[in-house]
């Protein structure tokens, strides 16, 4: 029936679509795709290969590859994957780029957000055009309660950053790679929260800290 309605199913024998799912004409389903529950797929989407999508809304012209999505929304012209995990409450896009090994939970990512590599974004609001560097995590759980991270429009989060919630990174602010951020970063500011590098030279007992003595 999907094929008859204008959906392109590359390999019907390896594509699994529940009766409750709605797929618009013009969408393309690649092998290994599982669509379940109250999922809707809009026109122009490319889904798969090898995706599990359950109770999700995927708007037009999105591409999702090798990923797991549950109770999430992906807005128009966004890309997800490969190997991303969108958990309940994830709201991505429009025009966002979610790359490999990104996990998103209960977080809203605005237009044009980029998160390319190996990051966890949980209980967060990420503003338009923000960039999330590789290895970034939002430390949302203190052992008793969940807390929220705010990353405002155009902010740049350097690689391997830990954002200890509750915390806000202001509009257009920068966070240096390798930082652990525990206080708000003002709009347009640069936050650096890491120890100074010390070089120990073998056999000489000399330390170099990189300063201009």
Q: Which pLDDT belongs to residue 210?
A: 56
Average pLDDT over all residues of the chain: 95
Global confidence as pTM: 0.92
In this structure, how many other beta carbons lie within 10 angstroms of the beta carbon of residue 161? 25
Q: Hey, which residues does 17 pair with through a beta bridge?
A: 35
The model's pLDDT over 168-211, given as tens digits with 9 standing for 90+, comes to 999 999 999 999 999 999 999 999 999 888 999 987 655 555 55
> Is 117 labeled as catalytic in the residue annotation?
yes
Mean pLDDT for 131-150 is 97
The model's pLDDT over 79-134, given as tens digits with 9 standing for 90+, comes to 999 999 999 999 999 999 999 999 999 999 999 999 999 999 999 999 999 999 99
Query: Is 198 inside a domain boundary?
Result: no
The H or E element containing residue 186 is none
> Do 94 and 178 belong to one domain?
yes
In this structure, how many other beta carbons lie within 10 angstroms of the beta carbon of residue 75? 20
Our count of domains for the chain comes to 2
Candidates 34, 85, 117, 204; catalytic one? 117
- Eight-class DSSP state of 94: S
- Please say whether the beta carbons of 124 and 141 come within 8 A: no
Last residue of some domain: 16, 45, 66?
66
Query: Is 72 inside a domain boundary?
Result: no
In this structure, how many other beta carbons lie within 10 angstroms of the beta carbon of residue 204? 7
């Amino acid at each position: 029936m999907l094929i008859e309605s204008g959906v392109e199913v590359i390999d019907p024998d390896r594509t699994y679509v529940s009766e409750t799912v709605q797929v618009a004409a013009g969408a393309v389903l690649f092998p290994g795709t599982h669509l379940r529950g109250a999922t809707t797929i809009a026109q122009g989407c490319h889904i798969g290969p090898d995706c599990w999508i359950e109770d999700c809304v995927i708007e037009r012209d999105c591409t999702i590859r090798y990923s797991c999505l549950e109770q999430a929304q992906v807005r128009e012209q966004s890309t997800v994957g490969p190997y991303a995990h969108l958990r309940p409450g994830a709201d991505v896009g429009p025009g966002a780029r979610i790359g490999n090994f990104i996990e998103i939970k209960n977080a809203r990512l605005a237009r044009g957000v980029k998160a390319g590599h190996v990051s966890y974004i949980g209980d967060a609001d990420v503003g338009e055009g923000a960039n999330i560097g590789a290895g970034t995590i939002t430390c949302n759980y203190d052992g008793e309660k969940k807390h929220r991270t705010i990353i405002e429009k155009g902010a740049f989060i350097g690689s391997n950053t830990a954002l200890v919630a509750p915390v806000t990174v202001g509009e257009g602010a920068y966070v240096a790679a390798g930082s652990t951020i525990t206080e708000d970063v003002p709009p347009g500011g640069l936050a650096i929260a890491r120890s100074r590098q010390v070089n120990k030279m073998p056999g000489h007992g000399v330390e170099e800290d990189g300063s201009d003595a």
